[in-house]
Structure 1
Amino acid sequence: MIQLIQASSYFQVVSLAAMADARLLPEASRRILVLANGSQMPEITTPLRQNPGFSLLAARFDSVVDLDELLWPRRPGQFNPRNEELPLFEKLLRQHWDLGQTPVSLVLESIQVNPAQALARIFFDAPIAVHSDGLMSYGPTRNKLPVPMLQRLRETIHIDLVPGLEPMLLLEAPVQRKVLGLESLATLFAELSAAQDPAKHQFPADAALVVGQYLGSLGILDTERELELHHRMLLAARDAGASAVVFKPHPSSGPTAALLLRARAESLGLEFRILATDLLAETVISLMNPLVVISCFSTALLSAKYMLGTPVIAVGTGELLQELGPYQNSNRIPVSIVHALLIQQLATPADAGDHDELTALLRAVAYCMQYKNLPGLREGAEAFLTEHYVAHSAHFKRRRLAVLDLPPRWAHPSRTIRASAWGRGLRRRALRVGSRSLDKIARSLAETSSRVSR
């Protein structure tokens, strides 16, 4: 059987190579790595093949193919063939990737979205394994999957980024869970670091590494507020005793933000260096040995802390938990994890034993996010909120609790607040409908206010 293994980021390529070394990938006679750049702007990011150390990783697979090149100028995330086109695309991919008529199995990431879902639809009878490299695997499945696809799911493979924490991805499906230990991933990053020329990577002493996040692309923060968030990271670096800051911008961010941050750093008396490299943050940490790693909710914070043993600081997670919208935003679980571990100082499940508060918290958040798909989590969510809401209120929104009728009832918005919100919604509707409907909507507003007041 031929195995198609899809990767959309360089970290995923590293993760998959480590999974191959650890013999966690399903058995196959031939393994093909399918590159599908998941960047929102792949045109301005380095192609996955050109990242440093790629040849070392590609050696773990029998061949490498590029879905980006085949689909150009369409991006992989836009690949959504119509049902009547599926046989045609299967014939095309079998020809271009030299698959012949051999049965195929799939190892996919982000099964809820394209191109992973498109590949699963094209190879309609292939068994499916789902791999995950980051923190999102700890959250619930974003979209409801078709029953035929659920029936083909066999297993998930995830990195133990939070030691002992079980993923909620595909919790609704009876899949086998495989775990890639951090020691296996650390071995591979050590190999990648050893392949670098130390003379090309000289870093200042007593420096903090700030890992930038492009929150503007997610529609979470505007440019000014994102700059302020990064400014707070500089303050955290100074307070931690750093005399210099190495800033690794997000690959999708423009140069302006980094230049503005340079001026802020100089005003604080910090030496500032912009790190223009395609090296992953984990490789940079191995080469740099920073005083501390600082970010918001980057996966690098947890891989630095639990895999590389480097001190870390998270900045801005509390505010971000309230800014994220809608509540089911798939970034919510990663932010909650970082906030709980690094701000609230909860223990990981591996360390907590029978007193695992983190898992209970995340399951309560997951129920609030995807209550229709995960009704079995309600009882646990009610118990957790009844006992722990005050300590963990930052993770929940009061209106969400009210809509789902979850405890504590005293935290629900008052009737006056709800009536005001309904009124604002009706006024906005009036503006959309037009002036001729204003009288009718005004009467509706009056009736609504009257019912609420009663």
Structure 2
Amino acid sequence: MSPARRVRLLVAGTAQGVALLAAALDVGLLAERPPEEGPPEERLPEGDEERVLLVANTAAVPETTPAPDALPGFAPLRRRFDRVLSWNDVIRPLHPGHWVPRADDAPLWERQVRALWGLEDAEVELVVEDVHTAPAQALARIFPDAPLDVYATGAAAYGPTPGRLDPLLGTRVRRLLHPGLLPGLSPLLLAEFGVEPRAVPAGALRAVLAESARELPPPDAPGRCALLVGQDPDAPGALAAGEEERLQARMLRALRALGHRTVVFAPHPAAPEHRVRALRERAGRLGVELSAAEGSPPPEVLCERLRPALVTGFPPGTLLTASAVLELPAARCGTDAVLARMAPYENADRVPAVIAEALLPDLEEPAAGGGRGEETRTELAGLVRAMAFCMWPRVHPELRGEAERFLAAHPGDRVRRHFPRRRLALLALPGALPAGLEPVARSETVRRAARRARALGRRVRR
């Protein structure tokens, strides 16, 4: 019996996702197939697999924001894929960031998509980012028999799965690809389904970024500049325009205090042009020459092209990639303010921001440094797992004991500020009360009186 034709759909919504997929393909991480997928004689050799890059532009207004395959640096990566298709073109005018077909309509969509893309009766495998978001869920529903691989482009892999994922979907996931930014720290994403995490080697990812960087024009900045990375205005929990401008002003003042007089700004493709002009004018008043990167190239690619003296800005994943993968000096700024405003508490960006705060130096207080020792990483692992339980206790109930021990061993504000007292009280965790009152709360006499008061209250309400 001859094996069926196989098509691997690699879904990417960001340039960072394309780069990670390219690196994973280069080192053969996606060519490995688990042994339970059929007898050897029915498995296809790697050369008989068609690789299709499916681009999903999930920007708030896709018509005004370039898709990943339209950004500078994509052309050198194109050779790794047999075809490049657009998910937006298939479902237009529906928005790929929100639309998921109804279960009853999924078979109709599968026939339509197979005919449109010439898949016929091919075996389809899916490689998606953020399995809990609309593009991944839509494709998983359209191809119900397709095995899933999931990838994470940054430190989000170390955070918990955002909410309770349908077990019928979660159990289809075979492995989690991630850039391995923190060796020794095990990813929590999809861990409740026993998904195997596989780190993409830093060398392979850097080689891909270097390949993309060669397509960028020579930098205009004289000497070694500082790179300021802008935020995605459409990201969940993104700062409002006024807060973003104030924080960028703090960054510029801190860069000037460190002696940087030339700054390259890497705006997000969806960032309004008037904000770039306003930032340039503000830099001029501070005596800093600021230029914006043309064409909004991916910041990681720009880092490799410029090799700046310092990288700072908003996305914690970009800063950690610059530090861990590209081996560039990186510093955070205003992370405490961003965390304080981040809502809801379950925001998927919370764990990456906490990791960046723990490992990277503060731009405004560089002398304080950032803890990089083994002790810091051990504490960070406990902090992340305790936060994972507090964020999604029903997803990771097995972490309760670890969370209790960690919180009991770290009563200081430096750690406890990441855990709202109201949430600790709801989950009956240490730290719900001020330190001076906790012995009183543990008193059997007080607890007995509280039970009597509650019983009396119930009788009065009757």
Q: TM-score band, normalised by the shorter chain?
A: 0.7 to 0.9
1:406 paired residue number: 429
Distance apart, 1:256 and its partner CA: 2.1
Residue 24 of structure 1 aligns to a residue whose secondary structure is coil
Counterparts of 1:286 and 1:16, CA distance in 2: 18
- Alpha-carbon distance in structure 2 between the residues aligned to 1:144 and 1:125: 21
SS for the counterpart of 1:78 is coil
Secondary structure of residue in 1 paired with 2:264: strand
Opposite residue 176 of structure 1, the aligned amino acid is E
Residues 1:93 and 2:113 aligned together: yes
What does residue range 365-444 of structure 1 map to in structure 2 within 5 Å?
A: 365-390=387-412, 391-411=414-434
1:93 to partner: Cα distance: 1.0
* Counterparts of residues 273-284 of structure 1 (less than 5 Å): 273-284=291-302
Report runs of 4+ in structure 1 exceeding 4 Å deviation.
none
1:141 partner letter:
T
Q: How far off its partner does 1:96 sit?
A: 1.2
TM-score of the two chains, using structure 2 as the length reference: 0.84
Aligned AA for 1:101? D
Does 2:373 align with 1:345? no
Asked whether the equivalents of residues 31 and 61 of structure 1 are also in contact (C-alpha less than 8 Å), the reply is yes
Identify if the C-alpha distance between structure 1 residues 182 and 9 changes in structure 2 by more than 3 Å, giving closer, same or farther. Answer: same
Higher mean C-alpha deviation, range 287-296 or range 361-370: 287-296
Q: Which residue of 1 aligns with 2:384?
A: 362
Q: State the match for 1:224 in structure 2.
A: 242
CA contact (8 A) 1:107 1:129 kept: yes
Amino acid aligned to 2:403: A
CA-to-aligned-CA distance 1:126-179 (integer Å, 9 cap, x gap):
111111112222211113122222222211111112333221110110112211
3-state SS, counterpart of residue 370 of structure 2: coil
**Residue matched to 2:288:** 270
1:256 alignment counterpart: 274
TM-score by length of 1: 0.85
Equivalent residues of 1:247, 1:272 under 8 A apart: yes
Partners of 1:15 and 1:133 within 8 A in 2: yes
The reply on whether 1:120 has 2:126 as its aligned counterpart is: no
How far the C-alpha of 1:281 sits from its partner, in A, is: 1.2
* Conserved? CA contact 2:14–2:67, under 8 Å: no
Give the secondary structure class of the aligned counterpart of 2:265.
Answer: strand
2:60 paired residue among 40, 43, 61: 40
Of 3, 12, 17, 2:22 maps to 17
- Contact in 1 for aligned 2:225/2:309 (Cα 8 Å): yes
Q: Distance in 2 between matches of 1:87 and 1:157?
A: 29
Deviation for aligned residue 1:277: 2.4
1:170 paired with 2:195, answer no
Counterpart check, 1:77 vs 2:97: yes
Relative contact order (C-alpha < 8 Å, sep 6+): which is higher? Answer: 2
Which ranges in structure 1 are unaligned for 5 or more consecutive residues? 415-447
| CA drift at 1:406 | 1.0
Conserved? CA contact 2:59–2:65, under 8 Å: yes
**Residues 416 and 431 of structure 2 are in contact (CA less than 8 Å); yes or no, is this contact kept in structure 1?**
no
Looking at structure 1, the residues matched to 265 and 216 of structure 2 have their Cα atoms a distance apart, in angstroms, of: 19
Cα gap change, 1:104 to 1:219, in 2 (>3 Å):
closer
Deviation at 1:220, TM superposition (A): 4.6
Partners of 2:269 and 2:419 lie apart in 1 by 31
Q: What is the aligned partner in structure 1 of residue 318 from structure 2?
A: 300
User: What is the count of residue pairs matched by the alignment?
Assistant: 414
| DSSP-derived class of the 2:23 partner | helix
Residues 1:142 and 1:315: Cα distance change in structure 2 (over 3 Å): same
Rounded to whole Å, the distance in 2 between the matches of 1:124 and 1:397 is: 40
Q: Structure 2: how far apart are the matches of 1:321 and 1:190?
A: 32
Cα deviation, 1:322-375, whole Å, max 9, x if unaligned, reads 11111111111111111111157233xxx6289622111111111111011110
Output one character per residue of 1:284-324: Cα deviation in whole Å (capped at 9) or x when no partner: 12222222111134322111111222111101111111111
Q: Structure 1 413/175 Cα, relative in aligned 2: closer, same or farther at 3 Å?
A: farther
Q: 1:220 to 1:2 in 2, by over 3 A?
A: closer
Q: Alpha-carbon deviations, 1:198-251, whole Å to 9, x = none?
A: 2xx321334211101145753553221211011111012112210122111122
Give me the identity figure in percent.
36
Query: 2:257 aligned with 1:239, yes or no?
Result: yes
Aligned partners of 1:276, 1:413: CA distance in 2, in Å? Answer: 56
Amino acid at match of 2:295: T
Q: Which residue of 2 aligns with 1:291?
A: 309
Q: Distance in 2 between matches of 1:17 and 1:216?
A: 25
Which secondary structure does the structure 2 equivalent of 1:299 belong to? helix
CA distance in 1, matches of 2:18, 2:164: 27
- 1:297, 1:317 within 8 Å by CA — same for their partners in 2? no
Q: 1:8 to 1:214 in 2, by over 3 A?
A: closer
How far apart in 1 are the matches of 2:259 and 2:157? 34
Deviations 1:59-117 (A, max 9, x none): 11222211111111222112211111000000011111111112212111111121101
The structure with the greater share of residues assigned to helix is: 1
